[in-house]
A and B are shown apart, each in its own frame.
Chain A
Amino acid sequence: MDRQFLTDFELIILLAILRVGDSAYGVSIANEIEQTGGRTVLLAAIYTALDRLEGNALVTSSYGDPTPERGGRAKRFFKVTPKGLKAVKDTQRSFVSLWSGIPQLKGGTA
């Protein structure tokens, strides 16, 4: 059986990258998570998860040009790979399956 495991945080990051689009880098990902998820995140934690996702070929990264407002450091842009997209879809499907058939959750939108 093909198995792919995502942590909840990895799933949130993948979704944030997909929402941000081509300009997804550390700050924009963090802002997206904070704005849509209502939770503050540690930038280092995002990079730890991104490194793990890249190691599993779920995202790819590339460097932009250095900019003065970043102390002369380049941005690292991230994109979700087809494998990453499949993992997101599979996770969504699994969650939907888990969600269905629970009497306590019927009739509400949480």
Chain B
Amino acid sequence: MTPHTPPRLAAMLVRLAAGGNDALVGDLEEQFRSGRSRRWYWSQAARMMLRRPIRDPRVQIVAAIPALLVLGISLGWWGTSRIAVPVLLGLTFTSWKLWRLHRTSLVLLYAISVALVLPEWMVGTTLLMTDGDRLFWAIARVLAGYGVVGVLMIPFLILRLDRSGPLAEPPISLSLGR
């Protein structure tokens, strides 16, 4: 690798995060070739990955794989454990933040959560629960499902809302054109 060539992995991340914005990729390469450090280039790449919305379906698929793995492990854990309080706290926090950030996403989140968790909950409560625990843990399991799925969705929501949603830089509310 020559000193004037951007780090290969960072360049790949830049192209991925740029989402087809060749002018941006070219700007970064021009800056690097004109003397910016590898550290600077890596910093730009990393911050782009965190900041820019992901539009490329391939990136969404790659990002979804670990989320699905965690979801699968979580479902398995719920089947054998009754410790749901931490997840319930997570649910409360997630719902509060989403309600403030993007209410449509909150509705979508709950719809997906019901679809994912309800079948597992029905089987679990029928087979494993005693009569005294049935109602409490039935509610807890559904709510826990909401919480975990919500946590999994937060990175996607942050990335998607970055451009035009409430995470974009807030406008200066000045009355103009007077």
Interface, chain A (partner B; CB < 8 A): 1-11, 25-27, 30, 42-45, 47-49, 52, 63, 67, 69-71, 73-76, 86-87, 90-91, 93-95, 98
Contacts and interface: CB of A to CB of B under 8 A. Distances in A.
Contacts of A7: 168-172
Which residue, B22, B34, B168, has most C-beta atoms of chain A within 10 A? B22
Interface stretch (B23-31, B101-109, B120-128): B23-31
A9 B168 CA distance: 11
Given A42-B44, A47-B21, A70 B26 contact: yes
Interface stretch (B46-54, B77-85, B141-149): B46-54
B130 interface: no
Interface string B145-178: 0000000000000000011100011111111111
A75 B23 contact: yes
Given A2-B177, A7-B170, A44 B24 contact: yes
A91 B177 CA distance: 9
A69 B30 contact: yes
Contacts of A47: 21, 23-24
Contacts of B175: 1, 3, 94
B88 interface: no
Chain A at the B interface: SS class: helix
B97 interface: no
B18 interface: yes
B33 interface: yes
Given A42-B48, A69-B33, A26 B174 contact: no
B17 interface: yes
Contacts of A3: 175-177
Given A87-B176, A91-B176, A94-B176, A9 B169 contact: yes
B23 A26 contact: yes
A100 to B, nearest CB: 14
Nearest to B27: A26
Nearest to B52: A44
B26 A75 contact: yes
Contact of B29 (A10, A25, A71, A98): A71
A31 B17 CA distance: 22
B27 A43 contact: yes
B63 to A, nearest CB: 18
Given A4-B176, A8-B172, A44 B47 contact: yes
Nearest to B173: A5
Given A5-B173, A43-B31, A44-B17, 18 more contacts: A2-B177, A3-B177, A5-B172, A6-B172, A7-B170, A10-B169, A26-B24, A27-B30, A43-B44, A44-B52, A52-B168, A67-B26, A69-B34, A71-B25, A71-B29, A74-B26, A94-B175, A94-B176
